[in-house]
Amino acid sequence: MEKNKSSIREKHKKRVKKKKSSLTIQANMYHKMLISWTSQKVKEAYTTRNAFDFKHVCNFDRSLINAPGPCVLFATPGMINGGFSLEVFKHWATSEKNLVTLPGYCVAGTIGHKLMSGKPTKIDLDQNTQIDVRCQTLLSWEFQVPEWSIELLLL
98 or 1, higher pLDDT = 98
For domain 2-18+54-154, the CATH architecture is 3-Layer(aba) Sandwich (3.40)
H or E element at residue 101:
strand 99-102
Alpha helices in the chain (DSSP H): 2-12, 22-33, 40-46, 83-92, 111-116, 147-154
Q: How far apart are CA 104 and CA 89, in angstroms?
A: 17
**Sequence ranges of the domains in the chain:** 2-18+54-154, 20-53
Reported pTM: 0.59
What pLDDT digit, counting tens, does each position of 14-53 carry?
444 444 456 667 777 777 777 777 788 878 887 787 777 7
